[in-house]
């Protein structure tokens, strides 16, 4: 994927400096609306606003697919050469893939956001940037941003194209109640939460008891699933994910083995990182992380 990036003109102007956005938090509503709270020095805007620290909310609406890629491992220029920290990608091949089955491509945009923690790409129906707070400051914040930019590594230049990596062999994850069959209604996802430094992804919802094997369970079972030290996340709406990069699966929750994309992200010399794929009723997720914890919280009401 190598399309032209066009800087988005916000109420602050263009956010020209790639390392100026400090990511404070991520919030999501069932993955379809994602908000990023960021902080930046005013001098990172174009035209610059010296003497101000700005706290902003970036909102992505009607998100059909997204990628969150940890820095400094990932090069912001892996997909395209950024024009700014907040870009729209013109004539995106990813939008064409995501909308190929039943969506109108004219209604969706490929947006990229570069922060100190993550490179973010999303196919979204709309986006906005809102200034939450303007705080007068001295030059300390500007010096801190300069130091962050100068110390950051280049990251890995590997791309993430549809056919660049072959389908990987999957091994079903054994939960305390057994593995999970490949049925669409096996896993229901009710909430998605993120924490930063290091990045943790937390999912919560219900498992369908009859989908466990070799021993089926009754009713529905609440779960909480956390992925720790996350290096990359890919999520797509299930009905459109067959056109994108996520490999075929044997179970609704499995570890992917010999997946070249994981090596491209973390390198061959760090075998402690693993990749997992989770198929939920509405979404398909792929996560590269150091480890995970799964809690079964008992029968659902």
The domain spans of the chain are 5-151, 169-299
Q: For 255-295, how does the pLDDT look when each residue is reduced to its tens digit (9 = 90+)?
A: 987 666 676 776 666 678 888 999 898 888 989 999 999 99
Torsion of CA 236, 11, 130, 44, to 10 degrees: 80
In terms of phi and psi (left: phi > 0; alpha: psi -120 to 50; beta: otherwise), the region of 264 is alpha
Record the tokens describing residue 156, joined without a space.
Answer: 């890995």
Torsion of CA 163, 164, 169, 172, to 10 degrees: -80
List phi, psi (to 5°) of 289: -155, 175
Q: For 219-231, how does the pLDDT look when each residue is reduced to its tens digit (9 = 90+)?
A: 999 999 999 999 9
Mean pLDDT value across residues 171-181: 91
pLDDT at 239: 75
Query: DSSP character for 97?
Result: H
Residue 142: which of 14, 71, 45, 76 has the closest Cα? 45
Is the peptide bond between 86 and the residue preceding it cis, with omega within 30 degrees of 0?
Answer: no
pLDDT at 241: 60
Q: How far apart are CA 234 and CA 184, in angstroms?
A: 18
Element holding 90 (H helix, E strand)? none
pLDDT at 137: 77
User: Tokens 């956001």, residue?
Assistant: 113
List, in sequence order, every beta strand (DSSP E) within the chain: 5-7, 14-15, 22-29, 33-41, 45-46, 52-70, 86-89, 109-114, 118-136, 169-172, 179-180, 187-195, 200-208, 212-213, 220-228, 232-237, 253-257, 274-279, 283-289, 291-299
Q: For 114-159, how does the pLDDT look when each residue is reduced to its tens digit (9 = 90+)?
A: 999 999 999 999 999 999 999 887 655 455 544 444 444 445 444 4
User: Tokens 């079964």, residue?
Assistant: 296
Over 90: is that where the pLDDT of 188 sits? yes
User: Tokens 């990359």, residue?
Assistant: 232
Residue 243: pLDDT band (50, 70, 90) is very low
Residue 298: which of 225, 226, 206 has the closest Cα? 206
Record the tokens describing residue 166, joined without a space.
Answer: 């072959």
Mean pLDDT value across residues 240-246: 53
SS (H, E, C) 170-184: EEECCECCEEECCCH
Mean pLDDT value across residues 18-42: 88
Is the peptide bond between 214 and the residue preceding it cis, with omega within 30 degrees of 0?
Answer: yes
């Amino acid at each position: 994927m190598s399309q032209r990036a066009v800087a988005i003109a916000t109420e602050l102007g263009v956010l020209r400096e790639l390392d100026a956005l400090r990511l404070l938090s991520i919030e999501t509503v069932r993955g379809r609306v994602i908000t990023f709270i960021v902080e930046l020095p005013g001098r990172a805007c174009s035209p610059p606003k010296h003497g101000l620290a700005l706290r902003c909310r970036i909102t992505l609406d009607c998100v059909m697919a997204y990628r969150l890629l940890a820095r400094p491992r990932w090069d912001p220029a892996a997909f395209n050469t950024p024009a700014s920290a907040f870009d729209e990608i013109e004539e995106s091949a990813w939008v064409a893939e995501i909308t190929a089955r039943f969506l109108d491509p004219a209604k969706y945009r490929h947006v990229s956001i570069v922060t100190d923690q993550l490179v973010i790409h999303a196919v979204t129906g709309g986006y906005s940037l809102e200034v939450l707070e303007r705080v007068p400051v001295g030059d300390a914040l500007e010096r801190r941003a300069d130091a962050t930019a100068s110390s950051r590594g280049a990251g890995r230049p590997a791309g993430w194209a549809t056919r660049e990596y072959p389908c990987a062999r999957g091994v079903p994850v054994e939960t305390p109640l057994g593995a999970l069959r490949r049925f669409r209604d096996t896993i229901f996802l009710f909430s998605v939460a993120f924490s930063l430094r290091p990045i943790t992804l937390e999912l919560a919802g219900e498992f369908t008891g009859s989908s466990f094997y070799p021993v089926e369970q009754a009713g529905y079972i609440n779960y909480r699933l956390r992925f720790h030290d996350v290096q990359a996340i890919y999520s797509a709406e299930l009905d459109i994910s067959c056109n994108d990069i996520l490999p075929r699966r044997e179970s609704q929750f499995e570890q992917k083995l010999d997946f070249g994309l994981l090596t491209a992200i973390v390198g061959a010399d760090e075998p402690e990182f693993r990749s997992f794929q989770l198929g939920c009723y509405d979404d398909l997720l792929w996560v590269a992380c150091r480890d995970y914890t799964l809690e079964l919280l008992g029968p659902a009401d």
